[in-house]
Chain A
Amino acid sequence: MQADEEDSALHSCFDSLKSAVMGCCYSICHKENDAQENTINERTHLLEVPEQQQETPVPVVSASTPPRKQDEQSALNRILHETATNVIDVGALGPYALEPGAYSERVRAYTARVAAAVPPPTPAPPRLLADVPQAERTALLSKAGLSNDDKDFVSTTHTDIHDISASGAAVSTEFAICYKLLITRREIYNR
């Protein structure tokens, strides 16, 4: 009984191996001009890979060896140069001073060129509170001013708030202002 079970397990194992090998052979022997090429099956690529990428790169075999040596040398030189550039060598930073003659000559050249250059427009200083443009400002200022009613309203409200805040010790100033504004707003709406 146990031997039968082992046999069946072996058979199934061989079957799966066979199908895998056959699939492999199929993919190797698969031709581009196959009739079933365009049909979608389990072996169809999910992602389309360009033809050039599918081919494995073939190393170029050159007839002579010197060019390869030269390539290696240039690659090594490049690596050496990159490494030298990336190394932080503080010890190598010796004192550096321009020679007095070269210094004064360069100062002279810079002075002459800077004097001859055309200056760019000076940047406007940054402003926190930018004014409105002139046209808009003129339009706003030419409008009619506050009406007499509004002026009376402002002055009476101001004196009322002052009275409340001066007399009511138990009432905070903020509360008095809010209260008064509420009352006046209601009066305006009821008008």
Chain B
Amino acid sequence: MVDELRKYLNHLLEKVNGLHCILITDRDGVPLVRAVTERAPQLALRPNFISTFGMATDQASKLGLGRNKTIISMYSSYQVIQMNKLPLVITFIGSDGCNTGHILSLESQIEPFLKDLAAIVAETP
């Protein structure tokens, strides 16, 4: 499954201009599948960067606006979009000028794979 999924993610990467990587990890930032180009910032791929989303989404869900689903962080040269699919986290990293709406629209195309991946995370001790 991993090869097919990686190929599919690479195909999605090519479709969006300026998208550098797509990572599917658990909430601690441990990767299950990743499609990364050489332009992706290595610091943002580290588990301790990705795992901050798990805590941030928990806290953001307490603000009285319902469950937090996505956090978009804009930096000077990059944008990081993280989606709450707990126990999974999907992380997209793109250039600052990348079309954010286009990245968000990829969610529905990755969704069919998430059920199996979530089961794998749940089964792993």
Query: Can you sample 15 A-B contacts with CB below 8 Å?
Result: A93-B52, A93-B55, A96-B51, A98-B28, A106-B26, A106-B28, A106-B124, A107-B30, A113-B120, A113-B124, A114-B117, A116-B1, A117-B1, A120-B115, A122-B8
Size range of the chain A interface in the assembly: 20 to 34
A115 interface residue per 8 A CB criterion: yes
Q: In chain B between 29 and 56, which residues have their CB closer than 8 angstroms to a CB of chain A?
A: 29-33, 47-48, 51-52, 55-56
Q: In chain B between 61 and 114, which residues have their CB closer than 8 angstroms to a CB of chain A?
A: 62-63, 109, 112-113
A18: shortest Cβ distance to chain B, in Å?
A: 55
Interface contact A120-B120, CB-CB below 8 Å: no
Given contacts A113-B123, A115-B1, contact A90 B59 (CB under 8 A): yes
Q: What is the size, in residues, of chain B's interface with A at 8 Å between Cβ atoms?
A: 31
Interface residue ranges, A against B (CB under 8 Å): 86-90, 93, 95-98, 103, 106-107, 109-111, 113-123
B46: shortest Cβ distance to chain A, in Å?
A: 9
- Tell me the total A-B contact number using a CB cutoff of 8 A: 74
CA gap between A173 and B112 in the complex, in Å: 51
List chain A residues, Cβ under 8 A from B124. 106, 109-110, 113
